[in-house]
């Protein structure tokens, strides 16, 4: 696996398309921070960190959120930066994604932040994910 964030995004997309209630993936601190932002913004219902029985590795289990009509809360999710191409934005260049209906997640010097938090703190950073 060359880019774990992209793997996380693909697993979430596939789980929503298959109508699954939850999805599991290998643990990393970055993924945990992204899940925290997605939960806070209402794109996922919950997440938990569990130890695997076979090996001493951790997994993140994400409980996906759906509307009452069984439509997924995430319409589109995609990675913006890859290992080969990095997209950095200054605080003044950060705009509301999809007129505020979606969000962008950044890796900054203050940690992993949403686009709204970056504007409030006047901090730019590496654009990781766009969610709508």
Token match 């951790």: residue?
A: 58
Whole-angstrom Cα distance, residue 55 to residue 52? 6
Whole-angstrom Cα distance, residue 63 to residue 43? 10
Share of the chain above pLDDT 70, in %: 95
Whole-structure pTM value: 0.89
CATH number for the segment(s) 4-131: 3.30.1490.10
pLDDT band per the 50, 70, 90 thresholds, residue 99: confident
The domains of the chain are located at 4-131
* Residue 32 Cα distances to 37, 56, 97, angstroms: 9, 18, 22
What pLDDT, in 10s, does the model give residues 3-31? 899 999 999 999 999 999 999 999 999 99
Whole-angstrom Cα distance, residue 14 to residue 125? 28
Q: Which two tokens stand for residue 29?
A: 């601190």
């Amino acid at each position: 696996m060359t880019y774990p964030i992209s793997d996380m995004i693909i697993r979430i997309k596939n789980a929503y398309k298959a109508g699954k209630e939850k999805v599991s993936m290998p643990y990393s601190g970055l993924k945990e921070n992204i899940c925290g932002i997605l939960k806070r913004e209402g794109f996922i219902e919950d997440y938990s960190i569990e130890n695997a029985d076979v090996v001493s590795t951790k997994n993140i289990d994400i409980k996906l959120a759906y509307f009452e009509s069984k439509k997924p809360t995430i319409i589109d999710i995609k990675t913006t930066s890859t290992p080969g191409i990095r997209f950095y934005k200054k605080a003044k260049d950060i705009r509301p994604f999809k007129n505020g209906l979606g969000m962008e997640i950044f890796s900054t010097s203050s940690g992993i932040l949403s686009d709204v938090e970056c504007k409030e703190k006047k901090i730019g950073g590496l654009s990781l994910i766009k969610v709508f």
